[in-house]
Amino acid sequence: MKRELTGVLNCNKPAGWTSFDVIRKLRSALGVKKMGHTGSLDPIATGVLVICLGKATRLVQLLMANDKEYVAGFRFGAATDTYDSEGAVTSEGPLPENLAAAIEDRIDEFRGEIMQTPPPYSAAKKDGERLYKLAREGKPTDVPPRPVTIHRFDLMSIEGDLATMKITCSKGTYVRGLAHELGKALGCGAHLAGLTRTRNGIFNVEDGLSVDIARAELSEAAEAAIIPPEKALAYLPKTEILGDDLARYLNGMAVPILDKLPLGQQARVFGPTGFIGVGTVEPGRGGAAIQPTITIHR
């Protein structure tokens, strides 16, 4: 039986599962068809996978824009066609005499705003086709590099040819792309050996719901773990709309607000009965106004 549930789930994806495997399991356990994730993880990866349910799927793009944090294992000495341990080795090279020092010497080149080319085996598109599909068919996968921001990229530890890295980055960043490019810069090649997403926005892996449990257990645990949309967006400021302005707002019109929020700021919008959705601050007559962008509850 289909159910009407609206909210957000912070899930801890196990290794070997696709992101859609998690959605499929939750759909079965909760009886909710409408779901969407806010940034997929490859099967070898584990950690935070944020799932939106019901009307909260309207928040997917907003939550997807948040920065993400990872702990990654980079194995040096071999590059692969998929840029991770599941691919075929395309080149090998001797490790630098002091691998840790060599990493530290080149890693700063990958911090800040950089241009990154999506890996050949990725969901990025070329002329409407997924790159991984083109790669499997032996077709060209060259696409223009895209700007991403690497807020943190640090070497945490090293053991032999395996380095553990801590990375905080913007949406759209391919961590396996960082492994490949760093290995290329060192002249020895590298690939991603393991990955855990430890944070997505305000969601941490320590609080993640385990989905690798029996269906009956998952049904109860998942329902108890659903986060209301307004709490999932707690990083946004809030504003309140009352009286006649509420009807105008719900009809798609910008209405004045008293809160001193910067232009362009997104904010959680509340009415007399609670959370309504998300709006964007814009100039109004005699002050600021809020324009509806996402409506969750009417």
Active site residues: 42
**Are 77 and 188 a contacting pair, CB within 8 Å?**
yes
In three-state secondary structure terms, 256 is strand
- Report which residue type is found at 11: C
**Are 209 and 243 a contacting pair, CB within 8 Å?**
no
| Structure-token match 């080795």, residue found | 89
**Are 80 and 44 a contacting pair, CB within 8 Å?**
no
Q: Dihedral of CA 229/233/238/244: which sign?
A: negative
Other residues' Cβ atoms within 10 Å of the Cβ of residue 274:
9
Q: How far apart are CA 87 and CA 80, in angstroms?
A: 5
> Dihedral, CA atoms, 65, 70, 192, 16, nearest 10 degrees?
-90
In three-state secondary structure terms, 21 is helix
Q: How far apart are CA 167 and CA 68, in angstroms?
A: 8
**223: part of which helix (H) or strand (E)?**
helix 215-225
CA neighbor of 13 nearest in space, from 46, 42, 36:
46
Q: How far apart are CA 5 and CA 181, in angstroms?
A: 43
**Are 13 and 24 a contacting pair, CB within 8 Å?**
no
- Joined tokens for residue 202: 């305000």
